Copies of this chain bind each other. A is one copy, B any other.
Amino acid sequence: MAAKKELRIGLIGTGFMGRTHSNGYNRVPNFFPDLEYTPVLKVVCSRNAEKVKAFAEQWGYESTETDWKAVIARDDVDAIDICTPNDSHAEIAIAAAKAGKMILCEKPLARTVAEAQEMVDAANEAGVNTTVWYNYRRIPAVSLAKQIVDSGKLGKIFHYRANFLQDWTISADVPQGGTGTWRMDVDAAGSGVTGDLLAHCIDTAMWINGAITDVSAVTETFVKERMHAITGKVQPVGIDDACIFHCHFANGSLGLFESTRYARGHKALYTFEINGEHASIRWDLHDLNRLEYFDHRDEGIVRGWRSVHVTDGDQPYMDKWWVPGLGIGYEHSFVHQVADFLKSLETGQPCSPNFQDSLETQKVCEAVLDSATSKSWKDTGVESFTM
């Protein structure tokens, strides 16, 4: 077997996403042995020297840094993986691009369209490969949904609806800011559920169903003040706790999206449903190995929603794993994204969603927030999307 080409990774950030990405890099060689490229965990970076060393030992990084600029400066790193809070994505990405590094950036791309646009411009100027970790696309059942829609089985699409429901911030005692709760702090996160959760729904939706052209939204902040974890002060909450919007797609279908962190009983209930002329599809992250499919062309007396257990070798990615009936989990979506990124280095094709795609998602998010503020419909200005 020929020696693999290396993709030398510099990971910045060691939180939840630092773990999921690291696991992705580690699993790929076991399950995608035919790839030309293999990831090498060159360096991981976090401010706390002791913690970053423990992280490196646990996940197999060769070295550590405590300053992200040092990572970018290293010659032995090909790609920068950005897992920091949203407020540093732009700065790091732009620096990485200028240094000629490939970039794998955690979603959302940025806090604002303006930031995102700068990142796109920097990446384009540098001509570096990029991808953004909208990982849910690469859950096999979701990839299968895309494949089914692309095949034309649904016919003309009438409706697309998606929810992302959580319940972890109902207590007024949850703080904002700090390490584990920066998503509650508008300065760090840029927005609440819109950038954190709806961004996923929008990415999946535009990937499968094309551009969202205009939106009408409402947001709500149920708990108005929370203590800041760093300052200890009770401060106004700037994020959206809940966001609902309806919209038009360029193909004429109606869209409906809702996200909240106040839906008691739902931990991470990302669901979507697509209704077409001939057939429909729905999916639910809590039962991620299943895709439900309805086909009106089935014989009437035995027609019904099919519960498809997406664990067969002819379904997306599943030839890499076990045998029919044996499910995989959340983490595998990151393994798939690593594999697809490595593959894109072989083929020279972009690994969607790249920065440009995710800028479009950002435009929808910003139009949603603008619509909620202005209580009016907003055009998104979305121009292109790698479907």
Q: Which residues of A contact B (CB under 8 A)?
A: 1, 16, 19-20, 22-23, 26, 29-30, 33, 54, 57-60, 144, 147-148, 153-154, 158-159, 161, 165-168, 170, 216, 218, 220, 222, 242, 244-246, 248, 252, 254, 256, 258, 260, 262-269, 275-280, 285-296, 298, 300-309, 311-312, 314-315, 321-332, 375-377
Contacts of A279 in B (CB 8 A): 264-265
Contacts of A307 in B (CB 8 A): 304-307
Contacts of A147 in B (CB 8 A): 301
Q: List 4 extra interface pairs beyond A29-B60, A159-B260, A244-B256, CB under 8 A.
A: A16-B322, A256-B256, A264-B279, A266-B325
Contacts of A277 in B (CB 8 A): 170, 264
Of A54, A252, A301, most B-chain CB atoms within 10 Å: A301
CA distance A23 to B326 in the complex (A): 15
A158 to chain B, nearest CB (A): 4
CA distance A280 to B329 in the complex (A): 27
The residue that A220 contacts in the complex, of B254, B327, B329, B376, with Cβ under 8 A, is: B254
The residue that A20 contacts in the complex, of B242, B322, B375, with Cβ under 8 A, is: B322
Of A144, A218, A242, A332, most B-chain CB atoms within 10 Å: A218
**Would A159 and B262 count as touching, CB distance under 8 A?**
yes
CA distance A19 to B326 in the complex (A): 14
Contacts of A268 in B (CB 8 A): 323-326
Q: Please, which residue of chain B has its CB at the minimum distance from the CB of A261?
A: B158
CA distance A262 to B256 in the complex (A): 14
**Would B325 and A312 count as touching, CB distance under 8 A?**
no
CA distance A322 to B286 in the complex (A): 13
CA distance A153 to B168 in the complex (A): 19
- Return the 5 tightest CB-CB contacts between A and B, nearest first: A267-B325, A268-B325, A265-B294, A304-B308, A304-B306
Question: How many protomers of this protein does the assembly include?
Answer: 4
CA distance A354 to B265 in the complex (A): 34
Question: With A1-B57, A158-B260, A159-B263 known to touch, is A218 a contact of B254 (CB < 8 Å)?
Answer: yes
The residue that A308 contacts in the complex, of B216, B246, B264, B303, with Cβ under 8 A, is: B303
Contacts of A326 in B (CB 8 A): 267-268, 285, 329-331
A269 to chain B, nearest CB (A): 7
Question: With A262-B159, A329-B328 known to touch, is A306 a contact of B309 (CB < 8 Å)?
Answer: no
Q: Please, which residue of chain B has its CB at the minimum distance from the CB of A262?
A: B158
**Would A23 and B30 count as touching, CB distance under 8 A?**
yes
CA distance A42 to B202 in the complex (A): 47
Contacts of A266 in B (CB 8 A): 280, 325
**Would B306 and A158 count as touching, CB distance under 8 A?**
no
**Would B302 and A306 count as touching, CB distance under 8 A?**
yes
**Would B285 and A314 count as touching, CB distance under 8 A?**
no
Contacts of A322 in B (CB 8 A): 16, 19-20, 330-331
CA distance A325 to B300 in the complex (A): 13
A218 to chain B, nearest CB (A): 5
Q: Please, which residue of chain B has its CB at the minimum distance from the CB of A215?
A: B218
CA distance A304 to B141 in the complex (A): 13
**Would A286 and B263 count as touching, CB distance under 8 A?**
no
Question: With A57-B1, A298-B306, A305-B265 known to touch, is A286 a contact of B254 (CB < 8 Å)?
Answer: no
A-B contacts, 29 listed (Cβ < 8 Å): A23-B30, A30-B58, A30-B59, A33-B54, A33-B58, A144-B301, A167-B296, A216-B216, A216-B375, A220-B254, A262-B275, A263-B275, A264-B276, A264-B278, A264-B279, A266-B280, A285-B326, A286-B289, A290-B304, A291-B304, A300-B312, A301-B312, A301-B314, A304-B308, A304-B309, A305-B306, A327-B329, A329-B329, A375-B377
